[in-house]
Amino acid sequence: MKEREKQKDFNLDKQHGEILGTYEEIYGHKTSIDVENMFQQCKDQIKNVLVLGRAGIGKSTFCQYVTYRWAKGELWSEYQLVILIRLRKLTNSRYPPGKKYSLINLLENEYFPCEDLSAEQIQHFKELCKNHQILWILDGYDEFAQNIPEQLEDVFKHVREAQHNILTSRPYAIKASYDAKLEITGFTNDNIV
C-alpha cells in the first residue's frame, strides 16, 4: 500500500513539474517584483509601464491599489499627482466629437464634472505636466483600443508618449512597445491583506 502511495506522489510531482516546465517554455521565465520597484526597468526619462493580465485577474484592482497607496504616501513620492483614468469611460457620449480635448479637459471631465477648475488650478496642473510630476494610470486599454474616439487620439497619444504612465491591458490587445512589461498572474493568500 505504501508503495502505491509513493508512486502516486511521484506521479503527481512529475506531472506538476511537467506543467510548470511547459508554462515556462510557452510564456518564459517570470520573476516577482514589488510594486515599489516596477519602474526600475524603464530606460527612458519618461517612465512607461505596461501591465498585462487576462480578463478578471485583477488589473483594475491593481490600479486602485497603487493609487490608494500613493494617496496614503506609501508609494512613488516623486509624483505630486496620480491620475487614474478608466479608458472604457472615454466614449463619444462623454466626449462629443467636433472638439479636440486636452489633458485639462480629461481631468475636468473625469474628476470635476460639475465644476470648472480655476485659472490658478489649471496653471498648477500645467506646471505639474511640464515638470513630469504626474503619473497617469490608464486602465483597460483592451476595452478602448478598437473604439478610440478620434477627438481623444491626440490627448491619449500625448499621455502615452510624453507623460509618465502605467497602461493596463489584456495581452492580445496591445502592440505598442514598452521598456517595462509586467504581468498580473493572480493573487495568493500571502499577498492579500
**Cα separation of 66 and 76, whole Å?**
9
**Cα separation of 181 and 183, whole Å?**
7
Confidence band, pLDDT 50/70/90 cuts, at residue 22: very low
Q: What is the mean pLDDT of residues 61-85?
A: 96
Asked if 42 contacts 180 with a C-beta cutoff of 8 angstroms, the reply is: yes
pLDDT surpassing 50 at residue 16: no
Q: How far is CA 169 from CA 17, 44, 59, 151, 193, in A?
A: 30, 21, 8, 21, 25
- What's the CATH superfamily of 33-187? P-loop containing nucleotide triphosphate hydrolases (3.40.50.300)
What is the reported pLDDT for 50? 92
Q: Give the three cell numbers for residue 143.
A: 476595452
Confidence band, pLDDT 50/70/90 cuts, at residue 69: very high
Q: What is the mean pLDDT of residues 82-102?
A: 95
**pLDDT (tens digit, 9 = 90+) per residue, 123-143?**
999 999 999 999 999 999 998
Q: How far apart are the first and last CA of the chain?
A: 42
Confidence band, pLDDT 50/70/90 cuts, at residue 4: low
Q: What is the mean pLDDT of residues 88-101?
A: 94
- Is the backbone of residue 58 left (phi > 0), alpha (psi -120 to 50) or beta? left
Q: How far is CA 158 from CA 46, 92, 126, 129, 175, in A?
A: 12, 19, 14, 11, 17
Q: Give the three cell numbers for residue 7.
A: 508512486
Contacts of 4 (CB under 8 A, 6+ apart): none
Mean pLDDT of the chain: 84
What is the layout of strands, in order, in the sheet containing 48-52?
Answer: 81-86, 134-139, 164-169, 48-52, 180-183
What is the reported pLDDT for 179? 74
Q: Give the three cell numbers for residue 126.
A: 500645467
